């Protein structure tokens, strides 16, 4: 999966590189190289690239962990630019069992769950360049009574 995503044109052409994806898809690490093609007019990391490096991961991580019995979509996003990105930057995603338990609880009766996830994009010196929030929409598919773990959801 990591190799495929690194060859995906939106990442490949933007100097975005996935450096790690855990086998359980609960931890992902991504970096954005500093390159003239990813720089804005004043020579710092382009804001669109900072956002793009965070775009698909929360949705993919939730979907991969819950399985085909769920509908998962990105719903909303926010980005706060904290300081200029003058170097390579990176971010990490960690999906916890608590996140998944909350989603399972809130969707057990067929209702939707809207959950926010937060990331910090950091420079090589550890300073925060941007804060990104993503809201993910989750709902059980009609007629689905098992999640990826094979556990009945009681429906």
| Residues 101/66, Cβ–Cβ less than 8 Å | no
Residue 151 clears pLDDT 60, i.e. is over it: no
Residue 147 clears pLDDT 70, i.e. is over it: no
Residue 155 clears pLDDT 50, i.e. is over it: no
Residues ≥6 apart with Cβ < 8 Å to 144: 68, 69, 70, 153, 155
Where would I find the H helices in 38-138?
A: 47-52, 57-66, 97-107
Note the pLDDT tens digit of each residue in 12-25.
566 888 899 999 99
Torsion of CA 97, 58, 11, 30, to 10 degrees: -40
Rounded-to-integer distance, Cα 13 and Cα 15, Å: 6
| Residues 27/14, Cβ–Cβ less than 8 Å | no
Locate tokens 């004043």: which residue?
Answer: 42
pLDDT, position 88 = 96
Question: All domains of the chain, ordered by start, with CATH?
Answer: 2-140 (3.10.129.10)
pLDDT, position 4 = 56
């Amino acid at each position: 999966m990591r190799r495929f995503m690194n060859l995906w044109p939106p990442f490949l052409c933007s100097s975005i590189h996935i450096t790690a994806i855990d086998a359980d898809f609960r931890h992902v690490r991504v970096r954005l190289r500093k390159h003239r093609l990813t720089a804005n007019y004043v020579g710092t990391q382009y804001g669109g690239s900072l956002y793009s490096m965070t775009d698909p991961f929360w949705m993919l991580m939730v979907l991969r962990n819950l399985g085909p019995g769920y509908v998962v979509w990105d719903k909303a996003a926010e980005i706060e630019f904290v300081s200029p990105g003058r170097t390579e930057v990176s971010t990490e995603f960690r999906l916890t069992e608590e996140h998944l338990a909350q989603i399972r609880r809130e969707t057990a009766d067929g209702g939707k769950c809207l959950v926010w996830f937060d990331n910090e994009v950091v420079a090589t010196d550890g300073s925060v360049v941007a804060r990104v929030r993503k809201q993910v929409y989750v709902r059980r598919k009609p007629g689905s009574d098992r999640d990826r773990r094979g556990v009945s959801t009681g429906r």
